Structure 1
Amino acid sequence: MRRKVFVSKVFERKVVVITGGCAGIGRALAERMAQAGARLVIFDLEQNALDALVQHLADRHNADALGLRCDVSDATAVQQAIALVVDRFGGIDMLVNNAGITHRSRVADTSLKVFERIMAVNFYGALHCTQAALPSLIAREGQIIVLSSLSQYAPVPDRAAYNASKHALHGLFETLRGELDGTRVNVMLVCPGYTATDLRKNVLVGDGSTAPQPALAVGRVASPQDVAESIFQGALKRRQLLVLSNLDWRARLVARCFPRLFDSVLLPRLAGTRVSQDLS
């Protein structure tokens, strides 16, 4: 009983910033942190959605929450938003780099602007937020949580820019973890598998326009709430790596050591199809 009470108090009144927090995993994690008594700051692009979420968190969980319209790919906007958070709440205890976008197009058919946009949001967005929040996180011995992907272990066809951005996140934050040794700041990389989010509804295609994509016909699809609960539990334990993949460790080993076998046998099975280019 004492342990449960202690765990329930770990994040009480802690200031948690979540980027891309109005939908999917970000929203589910905001609700989970609100249940734990955290003070929430949500970054997203649509002010109406932010206002609705803040009201929901207040009504449902009596949460102290702030919604800020912020494009994480804009370094100046991020610096201003983080400064506002520190001024209002006194500091930041946890930064969740969740904002991300994806695309569906082969490398040969993908314009440079699509690669640049994917990297601007998925990679540079996380970098901007982390650099801006780092002094406060160090002072408060906080946590940085980074949403990576299954593609870190098994790149999905027609997602080269997305896959590359996730690999870049690991290079950045694994290096940062080493540089923060001795500061008591924890860095946790999270690699979910296929999750039932709205990411597929605004997918970039090769020319830079957006088009909704059909849902994957995979055997196991996680809910955002399940992923959020796993992240919450990982944060409690201050884990460094959280793999929530549809692939077990043996399949990931095959993907690394025998990529042709993985592409021809395991990847089609995971997708529920024999045509790997139909993966989304």
Structure 2
Amino acid sequence: MPRKVFTSKVYEHKVVLVTGGCSGIGRALVLRFAQAGARLVIFDLQQTELDSLLQLVRDQHNVEALGLCCDVADPLAVQQAVAQVLEQFGGIDVLVNNAGISHRSSFAETELGVFERVMAVNYFGALHCTKAALESLITRRGQIIVLSSLSVYAPLLYRSAYNASKHALHGLFETLRYELNGSGVNVMLVCPGFTATDLRKNALVGSVTLANQPPLAMRKLASARDVAESIYRGAIKRKSLLVLDNVDWRARLLARYFPRLFERVLLPRMSRLKARRP
């Protein structure tokens, strides 16, 4: 894909931290920023996958990279990891809050622990990382990129905890954007549609265990690479909101202005869970 010359230098030597960076959209973003010459920091829970990805970006893109095992839901672990990043790289230019988990279970059948775990990773994980990196981001007039979801516009059945966590992210980061007005820090919320990642495969069920059923079939899935490219281009333009083109505009329109029609026609199709509910 051709790119303008000036865009290829925007992130050269910049320090980019990606949480949940070993799979899906996170991995694709790591590779895209590595291609742009950024210095990479990757937070993930799997050391083997971290080591493999670090070797890949070093070999293929000849960039400096650091991988740290870090549970973003643990505030102390995040503080220690970010301190290590600041010590080694001197600062953070871009924070990508990508780490996330989902679940597939009705509200009535979902234990409290599932809500707590989903919020701990999806919401508090982004909060912890942003808190720890904020001073450096302000100093460097950097960027905060937050992975949200189409569920902010069109809720998905049997994902109440996931939907709630994404709404919470908007409440937090839209407020932060206003508070940072004039600081030079860009806050971009990203809302992708259905994407081919491990998020669906590794979804929790109602009892805080991984679902043992295969991922639900979707008619159209965007590739993680295409989503990452769109996010990268949105970041270059320092957008405040990026709703990707794989978010169905009809769902957004009906959910907002014709909710009953949305519930009857589109919601069952989008959720694809009624017949296979746990």
Query: What band does the TM-score fall into relative to the shorter chain?
Result: over 0.9
User: TM-score, normalized by length of structure 1?
Assistant: 0.94
**Deviation, structure 1 residue 266:** 2.0
The 1:270–1:110 alpha-carbon spacing in structure 2 relative to 1, beyond 3 Å, is closer
For residues 277 and 173 of structure 1, the distance between their equivalents in structure 2, rounded to whole angstroms, comes to: 36
Contact 1:40 1:65 in 2 (8 A): yes
Identity %: 69
SS of 2:165 mapped into structure 1: helix
SS of 1:199 mapped into structure 2: coil
Matching residue of 1:249: 249
Matching residue of 2:203: 203
Contact 1:106 1:158 in 2 (8 A): yes
The 5-angstrom pairing of residues 93-132 of structure 1 reads 93-132=93-132
**Deviation, structure 1 residue 270:** 4.2
Contact 1:219 1:270 in 2 (8 A): no
**Deviation, structure 1 residue 277:** 5.8
C-alpha RMSD of matched pairs (Å): 1.7
For residues 212 and 178 of structure 2, the distance between their equivalents in structure 1, rounded to whole angstroms, comes to: 39
SS of 1:16 mapped into structure 2: strand
For residues 202 and 269 of structure 1, the distance between their equivalents in structure 2, rounded to whole angstroms, comes to: 21
The 5-angstrom pairing of residues 59-98 of structure 1 reads 59-98=59-98
Matching residue of 1:167: 167
**Deviation, structure 1 residue 269:** 4.1
**Deviation, structure 1 residue 193:** 0.3
Matching residue of 2:150: 150
For residues 213 and 177 of structure 1, the distance between their equivalents in structure 2, rounded to whole angstroms, comes to: 39
**Deviation, structure 1 residue 48:** 1.2
**Deviation, structure 1 residue 278:** 4.5
SS of 2:125 mapped into structure 1: helix
- Point out where structure 2 has 5 or more consecutive residues left out of the alignment: none
Matching residue of 1:237: 237
After superposition, the C-alpha distances for 1:44-92 in whole angstroms (9 at most, x for unaligned) are 0011111111001111111211000000000000011111101100100
For residues 176 and 277 of structure 2, the distance between their equivalents in structure 1, rounded to whole angstroms, comes to: 33
Contact 1:158 1:277 in 2 (8 A): no
SS of 2:195 mapped into structure 1: coil
Contact 1:193 1:247 in 2 (8 A): yes
The 5-angstrom pairing of residues 192-231 of structure 1 reads 192-231=192-231
After superposition, the C-alpha distances for 1:199-242 in whole angstroms (9 at most, x for unaligned) are 12221111111124433333321000000000000000001101
SS of 1:187 mapped into structure 2: strand
Contact 1:194 1:245 in 2 (8 A): no
SS of 2:187 mapped into structure 1: strand
User: TM-score, normalized by length of structure 2?
Assistant: 0.95
Following TM superposition, the consecutive aligned residue runs of length 4 or more in structure 1 with deviations greater than 4 angstroms are 275-280
Select between 187-196 and 197-206 the one with higher mean Cα deviation.
197-206
- Point out where structure 1 has 5 or more consecutive residues left out of the alignment: none
Q: Figure out how many residues of one structure are paired with residues of the other and give that number.
A: 276
Contact 1:20 1:26 in 2 (8 A): yes
Contact 1:150 1:245 in 2 (8 A): no
After superposition, the C-alpha distances for 1:96-155 in whole angstroms (9 at most, x for unaligned) are 000000111111111111100000000000000000000000000000000000101111
SS of 2:191 mapped into structure 1: strand
Q: Does 1:187 align with 2:187?
A: yes
For residues 16 and 265 of structure 2, the distance between their equivalents in structure 1, rounded to whole angstroms, comes to: 41
The 1:210–1:115 alpha-carbon spacing in structure 2 relative to 1, beyond 3 Å, is same
Select between 253-262 and 11-20 the one with higher mean Cα deviation.
253-262
